[in-house]
Amino acid sequence: MRLLHVISSTDPESGGPIEAVRRISEVLLSDGHAIQAVSLESREEAAQRSLPFSVTGVGGGVGRYRYNPSLTRWLDRHAREFDVIVLHGLWNYSSLGSWRALRNQSTPYFIFAHGMMDPWFRDAYPLKHALKQAFWRLGEGRVLRDAKAVLFTCEEEKLRARGVFQGFNYRERIARLGTHEPDGDPAVQTAAFYAAMPALMGRRFMLFIGRIHPKKGCDLLVEAFAGEAAHLPADLDLVVAGPDQTGWVKELQKMAQRLDIADRVHWPGMVKGDEKWGAFRSADALVLPSHQENFGFVVAEAMACGRPVLISDKVNIWREVESAKAGLVAPDTVEGTRDLIRRFTALSAGERAGIGQNARNGFLRYFQAETSARDFLRVIETQ
Tens digit of pLDDT per residue, the chain (383 long)? 999 999 999 998 776 789 889 989 999 999 999 999 999 999 999 999 989 999 999 999 899 999 999 999 999 999 999 999 999 999 999 999 999 999 989 999 999 999 999 999 999 999 999 999 999 999 999 999 999 999 999 999 999 999 999 999 999 999 988 888 888 999 999 999 999 999 999 999 999 999 999 999 999 999 999 999 999 999 999 999 999 988 999 999 999 999 999 999 999 999 999 999 999 999 999 999 999 998 889 999 999 999 999 999 999 999 999 999 999 999 999 999 999 999 999 999 999 999 999 999 999 999 999 989 999 999 999 88
Same structural domain, 74 and 151: yes
- Taking the model in full, what pTM does it have? 0.84
Burial 42-75, CB ≥16 within 10 A → b, else e: eeebbeebebebebbbbbebeeeebebeebbebb
Which has the closest alpha carbon to 151: 109, 121, 94?
Answer: 109
Q: Are 202 and 235 in contact (CB under 8 A)?
A: yes
Contacts of 378 (CB under 8 A, 6+ apart): none
- Our count of domains for the chain comes to 2
Same structural domain, 144 and 279: no
DSSP 365: I
Same structural domain, 123 and 193: no
Same structural domain, 252 and 131: no
Full residue range of the structural domain in which residue 109 is found: 2-178+369-381
Q: Which residues pair with 269 in a beta bridge?
A: 241
CATH label of the domain that carries residue 122: 3.40.50.2000
Q: How far is CA 78 from the centre of its chain?
A: 29
Report long-range pairs for 267-273 (Cβ below 8 Å, ≥24 apart).
267/240, 267/241, 268/196, 268/197, 268/239, 268/241, 269/241, 269/242, 269/243, 269/244, 270/13, 270/241, 270/242, 270/243, 271/193, 271/196, 271/209, 271/241, 271/242, 273/192
Q: Are 211 and 13 in contact (CB under 8 A)?
A: yes
Same structural domain, 140 and 198: no
Same structural domain, 195 and 254: yes
Q: How many other CB atoms sit within 10 Å of the CB of residue 229?
A: 17
